[in-house]
Structure 1
């Protein structure tokens, strides 16, 4: 539906001023900005997966840096997932006020499992850690489980 004709001279003047201001802006957006934008079908930038720290050579500094950057991105994603699960549980307990212990149990189990997995991977590493210290933690945990059984299951009894 085209714009109706202006009723008087003042309306014609304001329409012409608006066209002078709007037309170049629309042209720049449609002809320059939108064709040069990166359009992703997802909400965040996807980085290619790089070799992990165990696949890097000992003298390959670039590989260490890339593995550390990927580790930090993965930790940030895992931390945000944990935050989202916690928020869902809190919202569920508020919404399902008297019966929240029964109705929010499945969300609480998901949150506890994610929290345990997060702590297994990133916990007890301190404030300033990197991918190498996390890899060493994983290696030490695997050695422990091989010698003593799963962590938290008690001591493995040696058979004679």
Structure 2
């Protein structure tokens, strides 16, 4: 401290006078009383899904529809993040990107397929009832003909 010039000591003393109370207030009052938030967005409680609602319960349908739309927005954002990660990897690993970014590409394709299974072909105004009917039709198809995309099975026995 002896080697410092008087101007530097004056500036440091002035900074301690101005900054000292602010640091003390933050360390003794703000930080101990601060709550630890792990989430930076609002958490909604899960409401009953459409298959748990009665057919004439419009409030349950309304809540299930809003939850479905929130879930669709979240899933769409997750898919956008995965797509951006893959594009960044391709950009960064440019000449040899298909060997280094293969895992990201497969992960994105799997999630895009799952997103399309749940939300695809519903359109902009698709609601929870249409998605539920889509899921029901898919399950009936798979029970009758096997996985979607394998084609229809031939009738093996005479139905009657």
Instruction: State TM-score, norm by structure 1.
Output: 0.75
Query: Separation in 1 of the partners of 2:38 and 2:108?
Result: 28
Distance 1:5 1:150, change over 3 A: closer
1:127 match: 124
Q: Which runs of 5+ in 1 are unaligned?
A: 7-14, 16-22
1:4 match: 13
Query: Separation in 2 of the partners of 1:38 and 1:124?
Result: 44
Query: Separation in 2 of the partners of 1:81 and 1:158?
Result: 41
Query: Separation in 2 of the partners of 1:39 and 1:105?
Result: 38
Query: Separation in 2 of the partners of 1:153 and 1:49?
Result: 36
Over the residues paired in the alignment, what is the CA RMSD in angstroms?
A: 2.7
Paired residues for 1:6-155 under 5 Å: 40-155=37-152
Distance 1:155 1:41, change over 3 A: same
Query: Separation in 1 of the partners of 2:140 and 2:153?
Result: 13
Query: Separation in 1 of the partners of 2:73 and 2:35?
Result: 23
